[in-house]
Amino acid sequence: MKQLSIIPILFTFQFAGLAEVGIVTMTPSTSAALDVTSTSQGFLPPRMANAQRIAILSPALGLMIYYIYCGGVEIEVYSGIDWRNMIGGSEAPALAIGDSYGGGKVAYIFQTGDPGYISGQVHGLIAAVSDQSTGAKWGCYQEDMLGAKGMALGTGNQNTIDIVTGCSQDGIAARICYDLELGGYSDWYLPSKDELNKLYLNKVAIGGFTNNGYWSSSEFDANYARRQLFFDGYQYGYGYKYFGGYVRAVRAF
């Protein structure tokens, strides 16, 4: 079967050296370069998540997109300095640690110098509201997971991907987070050592933690992985990968 190509109807008119383009109209407004007329269809701008939006190099003043972010969607225009919604505000409401947002609780808000920090915008980490396991193994004892050594903020997601790619065992901490669908989101991961520490520092506001040891996604070596005791915040340099540990998933927003 041949595919039919639908060609939009464009009408171009020129007055005193100025041109107006009309879509489905014979009389485009002389005050508009482009006049779209319809009573049954809307105008659809490019739709982008944050990773796609920040990948735009040198956005032009007035560039418009439909922005899809954690917790909402909105039309945004580039102001020449940052992205603004149609009433001039930032895309996300004011948030505080412990607020319900993005499928869980706000666990940390990025500060100047943090990976993922964008001036004038609110981004950070969301923690699941409860533990995903009370006794999961880190997994693949005596096997080195290449790449899963990141400890800093912003490394937990890649650690998790490296672990589930390199370790086929079911029920391990990273896979539990990687497979998690919660609050309408499926981009959860096992936090890195430093990301896990943010959860400890804000554990009261986030809620639902025990005083036990929680796994991070940061591998120490083939035998050990890093975890943190939520009783006093002590961060183990290592824990045997076959130990059972608590798991709390996070996601970035």
Both 187 and 245 in one domain: the answer is yes
Both 79 and 168 in one domain: the answer is no
Using 50, 70 and 90 to split pLDDT, how confident is the model at 122?
confident
Both 53 and 144 in one domain: the answer is no
Domain total in the chain: 3
Do residues 123 and 253 touch, judged by C-beta distance below 8 A? yes
Both 215 and 226 in one domain: the answer is yes
Percent of the chain with pLDDT over 90: 55
Both 184 and 241 in one domain: the answer is yes
Q: Per residue in 45-70, pLDDT tens? A: 888 887 688 788 888 888 888 887 65
For residue 32, being part of any structural domain is answered with: yes
pLDDT computed for residue 15 by the predictor: 47
Q: Mean pLDDT over residues 95-121, rounded?
A: 91
> Phi and psi for 239 in degrees, rounded to 5?
-150, 140
pLDDT computed for residue 23 by the predictor: 76
Distance in angstroms (rounded) separating the CA atoms of residues 101 and 99: 6
Both 16 and 60 in one domain: the answer is no
pTM: 0.66
Using 50, 70 and 90 to split pLDDT, how confident is the model at 6?
very low
Do residues 102 and 127 touch, judged by C-beta distance below 8 A? no
Q: Which residue has the higher pLDDT, 91 or 201?
A: 201
Query: What's the domain range around 243?
Result: 127-252
Q: Per residue in 198-243, pLDDT tens? A: 999 999 999 999 999 999 999 999 999 999 999 999 988 678 999 9
Both 142 and 196 in one domain: the answer is yes
Both 30 and 77 in one domain: the answer is no
